[in-house]
Amino acid sequence: MLKIHPLFIYSSIPLFLSISSSSSAHFFQNISSIPTSSIPKPTSWDNFHTLVGCRTGQNVAGLSRLKQYFQHFGYCNYSTSNFTDNFDDTLESAIKTYQLNFNLNITGELDDPTLTHLIRPRCGNADIINGSSSMNFGKVNFSYSNSGGSKYIHSVGHYSFFPGQPRWPPSRTTLLYAFFPGNQLPENVKAVFGRAFGRWSEVTTLTFTETRLYYSADIKIGFFSGDHGDGEPFDGVLGTLAHAFSPPGGKFHLDGDENWVVNGDFVNASSSMVSAVDLESVAVHEIGHLLGLGHSSVEESIMYPTLSSSTRKVELDEDDIEGIQSLYGSNPNYNGSTTMPDFGRETSGAHTLLKSFLIICSVFGIFMDSLL
């Protein structure tokens, strides 16, 4: 039976959200203004850490919740919603696909790196739609086994699209966006979205203009809590942060329960600020979906599905630019580098060191492959 993810289905039909589900949202000018009372309790995803070491054939409490997670993001297709705690072959396959998409060691087991990825806040859009994953499209793998039998993978990621590669018609080069009136957003919050749209218009032929006419706008932006009428309820602080619909759906929903930071300065973020979410980083990502891009396995790309709390990532990566220009062409004034102002690129604790380490590991993987 053909299965299509709800966010793809609803992109082509009208959607009217109940005002009762609207949220005024929680906005903070900077991380220091977030009260300690806003630090969240552990989410249901945090409990995944108790599953470390689980493998095929075991029966462990909590695996049913993990199956729900993978089902939601497209990694498996159980015929029933009555999930069990059995570690079956379907779950193992889902884990292996997840590990491939996120450039992890492909073991099919719930090791620490995999579980660490699983609990990260992320976009609510599925990585796999209708059983098809293009996050790992075009990957070239070089693998070898050491004496312990572990496999090391060097892979080249790629941007992806929604099924059928939907895009805005060539005649629509200017798209109108509006904010849900019930949110009554302040101007400094609206300005964040203006900057986010500008990052995409800088590299494409598209332009974006704000309008007050919400229901006739091409792109409708709103903050909502819990079940808000589109079949994709939000889950409170962290977990899923937002989701957006493929063209020409134009619906962009953000979780009103998050602690949204407006000014994007995380340089001096303390480890206690685990609930802080950079608004512009999420906005830039979801606009990519609104324009037709799916998720990418390139960790530096905007379209990478996860975003750790107290992290800022707003500059388009080469992977994002190539993907969006393949849909809409290049801005004639684009010279190969973006010029949008920023408060600081990738200001999450040791990003630069980690990136350098990954590059070294990749080169080492290719070298070892050439010896075998």
Higher pLDDT, 372 or 194: 194
Residue 314, CA distances (Å) to 96, 193, 252, 302, 340 in order: 29, 11, 17, 7, 10
For residues 74-89, average pLDDT: 91
**What pTM does this model have?**
0.82
Higher pLDDT, 33 or 224: 224
Residue 310: inside a domain: yes
Window from 52-66, 318-332, 344-358 with minimum mean pLDDT: 344-358
- Does residue 252 carry a pLDDT above 50? yes
Task: Assess whether 182 and 325 both reside in one domain.
Answer: yes
Pick the last residue of a domain from 118, 151, 179.
118
For residues 276-298, average pLDDT: 96
CATH number of domain containing 21? 3.40.390.10
Window from 174-183, 311-320, 350-359 with minimum mean pLDDT: 350-359
Task: Assess whether 85 and 181 both reside in one domain.
Answer: no
Residue 12, CA distances (Å) to 9, 251, 252, 294 in order: 6, 10, 14, 17
Higher pLDDT, 109 or 139: 109
The pLDDT value given to residue 264: 77
Query: Per the annotation, does 236 bind a ligand?
Result: yes
Residue 12: inside a domain: no
Residue 156: inside a domain: no
Query: Per the annotation, does 123 bind a ligand?
Result: yes
Residue 248: inside a domain: yes
Under the banding of pLDDT at 50, 70 and 90, the label for residue 33 is: confident
Residue 5: inside a domain: no
- Does residue 154 carry a pLDDT above 60? no
Consecutive H or E run containing 188? helix 187-201
- Does residue 149 carry a pLDDT above 90? no
The pLDDT value given to residue 40: 64
> Can you give the length of the chain in residues?
372
Cα angle: 134, vertex 308, 177; to 5 degrees: 70
Residue 24: inside a domain: yes
For residues 229-254, average pLDDT: 93
Task: Assess whether 179 and 113 both reside in one domain.
Answer: no
The pLDDT value given to residue 72: 94
Task: Assess whether 58 and 23 both reside in one domain.
Answer: no
Task: Assess whether 218 and 324 both reside in one domain.
Answer: yes
Window from 10-19, 179-188, 219-228, 318-327 with minimum mean pLDDT: 10-19
The pLDDT value given to residue 221: 98
Q: Is 299 one of the catalytic residues?
A: no
Query: Per the annotation, does 243 bind a ligand?
Result: yes
The pLDDT value given to residue 352: 37
Task: Assess whether 207 and 72 both reside in one domain.
Answer: no
Pick the last residue of a domain from 98, 118, 138.
118
CATH number of domain containing 79? 1.10.101.10
* Cβ atoms 314, 282 nearer than 8 A: no
Window from 197-201, 246-250, 343-347 with minimum mean pLDDT: 343-347
- What is the crossing angle of helices 187-201 and 279-291, to 10°? 50
Task: Assess whether 111 and 218 both reside in one domain.
Answer: no
For residues 290-295, average pLDDT: 97
Residue 166: inside a domain: yes
Under the banding of pLDDT at 50, 70 and 90, the label for residue 126 is: very high
Per-chain mean pLDDT for the chain: 81
Query: Per the annotation, does 258 bind a ligand?
Result: yes
Query: Per the annotation, does 278 bind a ligand?
Result: no
Window from 125-139, 248-262, 295-309, 355-369 with minimum mean pLDDT: 355-369
Looking at 286, 299, 318, 346, which residue is catalytic? 286
The pLDDT value given to residue 362: 42
Residue 344, CA distances (Å) to 235, 265, 268, 313, 340 in order: 29, 7, 12, 9, 11
Pick the last residue of a domain from 55, 90, 118.
118
Task: Assess whether 59 and 32 both reside in one domain.
Answer: no
Query: Per the annotation, does 26 bind a ligand?
Result: no
Percent of the chain topping pLDDT 90: 61
Q: CA nearest 224: which of 124, 128, 157, 141?
A: 124
Q: What is the DSSP letter of 69?
A: H
The pLDDT value given to residue 16: 36
Task: Assess whether 250 and 283 both reside in one domain.
Answer: yes
The pLDDT value given to residue 309: 84
The pLDDT value given to residue 231: 84
Neighbours of 209 (CB within 10 A): 13
Task: Assess whether 332 and 272 both reside in one domain.
Answer: yes
Neighbours of 296 (CB within 10 A): 27
Q: Which domain holds residue 53?
A: 44-118
Task: Assess whether 73 and 28 both reside in one domain.
Answer: no
In total, how many domains does the chain have? Answer: 2
* Cβ atoms 96, 151 nearer than 8 A: no
Task: Assess whether 206 and 58 both reside in one domain.
Answer: no
- Does residue 84 carry a pLDDT above 90? yes
Query: Per the annotation, does 289 bind a ligand?
Result: yes
